Chain A
């Protein structure tokens, strides 16, 4: 990937504006000036409320089975919510509503939003609900918040998401569950004994959850491998992209860019303040790995896929008026967003390809207007396939009903602080990370528009345009 980045840099030399930005960035005082100097039009629309991201935080994203191993999902969510309160100094009763995403549900806390909110000390008068939409669950939480504010029903909403892969619900088999439920109803000892006697070895085999599509029974990694093959993405390209992600994440981590990460004192363990999945390796090391899903000729490996992660995130979303009235300095405007969905078998992970042109059109922007891209990296092969699809007129015409391609984002603007491959991907927490990162990158780099895009199980996708708040 590094080489690819170089080539793309070579082939599209920095424009003078960008060069000026780079030069200007060293002078921290000139950042504000810079943004205004760009003077692109604002995306505010008459009659539509301006909705802002006040701030966003996340717990460190840890590989599952590590320091968070003994927690429960709502513990992690609580940590993120408390972190948000600390970071913003928000009075707890100022929040009108809480929306939280989760994918793999802990059955004891099926409305994890409410449990976490209560535990985090929010007012028990603040209602909370949980949403689920696979890897775009917290995007859904945020857009739900946007909807509530736009509709005039709320002024301040907390959104977020949590995923806890260290412990997932493993169930008894259906046969066993049926027997056990009947056992509850059995009245006589004889009836109970005969039910117990009906238990066979087959009853005892448990049901494990899998990251597989219900509709097709195909695991996501398998689908990603097929998708990569369909777009002719080579193993080398995937490994290079994975390495790029880790390298950039490491740089961002070391450079203190990941300011959305809060420190979290894990009960019974140490304080955690860093993501622990960032591991830049060498191409040789990556090349050694065997394919993880399609064997022996597949290309998706453990190293070029996102890993199972524990983590939670939270953002504070407000109407601009309310934020200003409370004395906040918002970070960004949340503008147009779209959800898309397509064939869950052969186009499972192509959400960004479908969502990007749609949201750009809605905002009246082109790809060139976007300064910051943050795409969810489920698999290196999935990202590369999306980039190739976005670069293809044939694909746009044949499958998207468009006249021309939308084009692929330039790599120098793309996921420059790492991505899900390296930072980790706690399914329902990733969306808020993407939006917060866009806001932070816009501030740091002086850009005006950012684009978030993500794919999700079920063949769905999402994209959102974010506008820097004038500084």
Chain B
């Protein structure tokens, strides 16, 4: 069991807005896609995290997927250090181990901007 924080009122309201659109009888797929675009556009990262938790807890697949994709898109070109800091990940690797891993997955670092290391 993973303890989840209670969903706050603001997030719940957003989830309801999403559900209302997606359960409309006469909303076409195209209209829903457009809605998702606008709904998620410019959403602050903290709000996205809340939405991801809420959608997961309430088992709303479509919203969960869209929000996770949005968060993933926002991670593009960020460095490994950034990911560690942002998600509070501790690395227990020694510096030799880090070099070793980078060699093993050299293809992931090919042709990359130096500041995205």
Q: Say whether A associates with B.
A: no
Q: A-contacting residues of B (Cβ < 8 Å)?
A: none
